[in-house]
């Protein structure tokens, strides 16, 4: 099997099929969260839909979560007068059923101490066009963030880099880099490959890893929906150092023994997340529990 064939096999092994147990669980979880939020804010008409990897078609079975956006119209006040109020009222509504962990712009929900890996992102549309929205932001230089979900979602599949992004998301847990945030990693891959002409997936992966190894300290990335939102700080000095080291080690491994050792931990029966999800499903656990703590 050639290196390109092996990398394509890795992608096939971690594709979440439309009618799979995992996808059904995602859809049911989204339905549960949406019903709870609509009941909590009667008279409001929030837009509730998928964001993140589900919307971008970059989900991988070994390392995925579900992003659900909940954006309220500009002229509605039932969920709060300010972006901050919306964030905390949505948090309180979700807390009636789930344990909540506050993240930078999202609310991570847990069920009976089991991490469901579901992030709910509250916000408010800026105007009636319902394109741009403001999100509350914990930490950082200001307490709100302007974004455009449609532009963010379209930017990734339109880049032509979804295969490489999916492989890098699989590479991340294999090399112990779970702390690296997904969206900045996606943007990094796209930036590196934006002028790359090579068609083979291995050549393109090598290009990404070489740039991380040799140039990670000079790479800057910005939110495609808001040029003022510089995401470069998502790679702090410690993370940049870890990325460079992991890329160097991976390149040496590939040169000496190929890609199989790089992805060994997520192929076959060694895949922790896949095995734990299957166990939870066959036990008939609550339907939003195919995600287990400690997987990402």
Residue linked to tokens 């040169």: 255
CB 91 within 8 A of CB 100: yes
Q: What is the pLDDT of residues 203-254, one digit of tens each?
A: 999 999 999 999 999 988 888 888 777 788 888 999 999 999 999 999 999 9
What mean pLDDT do residues 32-49 have?
96
Predicted local distance difference test score (pLDDT) of residue 140: 63
Query: Within a 10 A sphere around the Cβ of 211, how many other Cβ atoms?
Result: 19
CB 118 within 8 A of CB 102: no
Evaluated on CA atoms 61, 65, 66, 67, the torsion sign reads negative
- Helix segments in the chain, DSSP class H: 3-13, 21-40, 52-56, 83-94, 149-158, 162-174, 182-193, 201-215, 237-257, 260-263, 272-282
pTM of the model: 0.84
* Res 295 pLDDT > 60: no
Percent of the chain with pLDDT over 90: 62
How far, in Å, CA of 123 to CA of 142, rounded?
15
Closest by CA to 101, choosing from 112, 122, 115, is: 115
Predicted local distance difference test score (pLDDT) of residue 202: 97
How far, in Å, CA of 60 to CA of 42, rounded?
35
Q: 37-51, 149-163, 246-260, 274-288: which range is least confident on average? A: 274-288
Strand partners, 202: none
Strand partners, 118: 66, 109
89 pLDDT band (50/70/90 cuts)?
very high
In terms of DSSP bridges, do strands 107-111 and 114-125 run parallel, antiparallel, or are they unpaired? antiparallel
Q: What is the pLDDT of residues 165-207, one digit of tens each?
A: 999 999 999 999 988 989 999 999 999 999 888 889 999 999 9
Q: 14-18, 22-26, 154-158, 183-187: which range is least confident on average? A: 22-26
Burial-class residue 109 by CB neighbours within 10 Å (0-12, 13-18, 19+).
buried
Closest by CA to 138, choosing from 107, 116, 184, is: 107
Between 122 and 144, name the one with better pLDDT.
122
How far, in Å, CA of 167 to CA of 172, rounded?
9
3-state secondary structure at position 17: coil
Predicted local distance difference test score (pLDDT) of residue 27: 85
**C-alpha distances in Å from residue 225, one per residue of 145, 187, 291:** 11, 12, 30
- Six-digit token pair at 17? 């099929």
Domains of the chain: 3-282 (1.10.1410.40)
Q: What is the pLDDT of residues 25-36, one digit of tens each?
A: 888 888 999 999
Q: What is the DSSP string of 95-115?
A: TTTSEEEE-SS-EEEEETTEE
* Res 271 pLDDT > 50: no
141 pLDDT band (50/70/90 cuts)?
low
How far, in Å, CA of 80 to CA of 123, rounded?
10
């Amino acid at each position: 099997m050639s290196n390109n064939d092996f990398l394509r096999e890795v992608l096939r092994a971690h594709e979440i099929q439309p009618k799979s147990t995992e996808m059904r669980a995602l859809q049911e979880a989204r339905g549960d969260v949406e019903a709870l939020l609509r009941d909590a804010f009667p008279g409001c008409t929030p837009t509730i839909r998928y964001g993140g990897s589900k919307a971008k078609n970059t989900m991988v079975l070994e390392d995925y979560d579900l992003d659900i956006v909940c954006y309220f119209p500009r002229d509605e006040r039932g969920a709060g007068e300010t972006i901050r109020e919306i964030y905390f009222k949505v948090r309180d509504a979700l807390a009636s059923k789930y344990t909540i962990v506050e993240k930078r712009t999202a609310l991570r929900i847990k069920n009976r101490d089991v991490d469901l890996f579901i992030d709910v992102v509250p916000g408010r549309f800026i105007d009636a066009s319902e394109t741009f929205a403001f999100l509350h932001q914990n930490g950082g230089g200001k307490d709100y963030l302007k974004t455009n979900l449609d532009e963010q979602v379209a930017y990734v599949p339109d880049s032509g880099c979804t295969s490489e992004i999916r492989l890098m998301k699989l590479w991340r847990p294999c090399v112990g880099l779970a702390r690296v945030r997904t969206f900045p990693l996606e943007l990094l891959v796209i930036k590196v490959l934006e002028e790359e002409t090579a068609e083979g997936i291995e050549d393109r992966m090598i290009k990404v890893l070489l740039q991380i190894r040799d140039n990670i300290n000079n790479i800057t990335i910005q939110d495609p929906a808001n040029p003022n939102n510089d995401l470069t700080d998502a790679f702090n000095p410690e993370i940049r150092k870890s990325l460079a080291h992991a890329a160097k080690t991976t390149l040496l491994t590939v040169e000496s023994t190929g890609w199989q050792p790089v992805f060994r931990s997520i192929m076959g029966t060694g895949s922790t997340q896949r095995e734990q999800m299957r166990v939870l499903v066959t036990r008939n656990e609550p339907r939003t529990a195919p995600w287990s703590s400690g997987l990402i």
